[in-house]
């Protein structure tokens, strides 16, 4: 009987993680497709009516994605202090973003927008890295191949592209034009950074011949990591047996 209870709990946790992973992947796909297509309308400035609508929609999905990361983190650790700290950080980021970057009305004016954007991405990037670390440990643990591990692998792969995009955006905030061209800071530059990151992740140059040396070298690290991750996933997960049927 105790063994059956343990199995029931284990299956329940696996299903919860599968659902959380799947939700994040779906939002990631929306953000990526959205960023690769609709952000073309942002290249002429963020104050046009269509640009304001795009920024609003993108922000909604961005906030959803951030809190899904926090919800997923709760599956990996029982450290309530860490969970609360990240929750407070996400609430702070959401409030700051809503008050300063709301496209239709500026509730707050910031004198140093570069510093403001640096703080926003500087707070979000460690959360992404923390979730990636926990998720990697999660999918490489266990004795069986379960659906939550497959969704987790997809989640980590896409999150790698998005998180490196955040890192490239941080570099561009400190050194504008690091992608080889001047782009308006904020969502236009962030979307371009994510596009560059996904190009690296997909094994293409993406048409960025004049990126800075720092971004180029980090891009090499991203490419090596992504290929190594795929190799490890194939070797680990494909070699696992499926759980026995009861």
pLDDT, position 237: 66
What pLDDT shows up at residue 201? 86
245 belongs to a structural domain: no
Reported pTM: 0.85
Q: Is residue 130 part of a domain?
A: yes
Provide the domain count of the chain.
Answer: 1
* Residue 171 belongs to a domain: yes
The values of phi and psi at residue 76, to 5°, are -105, -25
pLDDT by residue, tens only, the chain of 246 residues: 454 544 454 555 677 888 888 999 999 998 888 877 877 777 766 677 787 888 888 888 888 888 888 888 888 888 889 899 999 998 888 888 777 777 777 777 778 888 888 888 888 888 888 989 998 888 887 666 777 888 888 899 999 999 999 899 999 988 888 888 778 788 888 888 888 898 888 877 667 778 889 998 998 999 898 888 888 877 776 666 656 555
- Given a contact cutoff of 8 angstroms between Cβ atoms, the answer to whether 107 and 121 are in contact is no
Position 246 in a domain: no
pLDDT at 71: 87
- In this prediction, residue 5 carries a pLDDT of 47
Residues 6+ apart with CB under 8 A from 31: 58, 61, 62, 65, 162, 194
The closest of 102, 105, 97, 101 to 67, measured between CA atoms, is 97
17: Cβ–Cβ under 8 A, 6 or more apart, which residues?
A: 72, 75, 138, 148, 152
Q: Which domain holds residue 63?
A: 2-237
User: How many whole angstroms separate alpha carbon 58 and alpha carbon 56?
Assistant: 6
Q: How far apart are CA 65 and CA 73, in angstroms?
A: 12
Amino acid 164: pLDDT: 92
User: Which of 55, 62, 65 lies closest to 25 in space, CA to CA?
Assistant: 65
pLDDT at 245: 56
CA distance 70 to 128: 9
Nearest to 128 by CA among 28, 56, 232, 223: 28
Max distance between CA atoms of the chain, in angstroms, equals 65
Contact 48, 35 (CB under 8 A): no
Domain-embedded: residue 10: yes
According to the model, what pLDDT value does residue 1 have? 46
- Judge whether 147 lies within some domain: yes
pLDDT at 214: 92
Cα separation, 152 vs 89, whole angstroms:
24
Specify if 22 maps to a domain: yes
- Domain assignment present for residue 242? The answer is no
């Amino acid at each position: 009987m105790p063994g059956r209870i343990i199995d029931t709990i284990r299956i329940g946790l696996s299903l919860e993680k599968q659902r959380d992973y799947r939700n994040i992947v779906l939002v990631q796909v929306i953000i990526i497709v959205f960023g690769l297509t609709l952000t073309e309308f942002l290249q002429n400035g963020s104050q046009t009516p269509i640009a304001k609508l795009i920024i609003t929609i993108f922000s909604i999905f961005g906030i959803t994605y951030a809190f899904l990361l926090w919800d997923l983190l709760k599956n990996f650790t029982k450290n309530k202090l860490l969970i609360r700290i990240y929750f407070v950080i996400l609430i702070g980021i959401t409030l700051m973003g809503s008050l300063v970057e709301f496209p239709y009305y500026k509730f707050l004016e910031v004198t140093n927008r570069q510093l403001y954007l640096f703080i926003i991405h500087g707070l979000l990037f460690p959360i992404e890295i923390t979730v990636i670390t926990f998720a990697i440990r999660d999918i490489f643990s266990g004795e069986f191949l379960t659906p939550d591990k497959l969704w987790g692998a997809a989640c980590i792969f896409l999150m790698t592209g998005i998180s490196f995009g955040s890192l490239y955006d941080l570099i561009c905030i400190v050194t504008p034009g690091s992608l080889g061209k001047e782009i308006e800071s904020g969502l236009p530059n962030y979307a371009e950074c994510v596009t560059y990151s996904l190009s690296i992740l997909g094994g293409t140059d993406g048409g960025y011949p004049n990126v800075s040396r720092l971004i180029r070298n980090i891009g090499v690290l991203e490419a090596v990591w992504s290929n190594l991750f795929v190799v490890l996933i194939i070797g680990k997960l494909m070699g696992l047996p499926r759980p026995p049927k009861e």
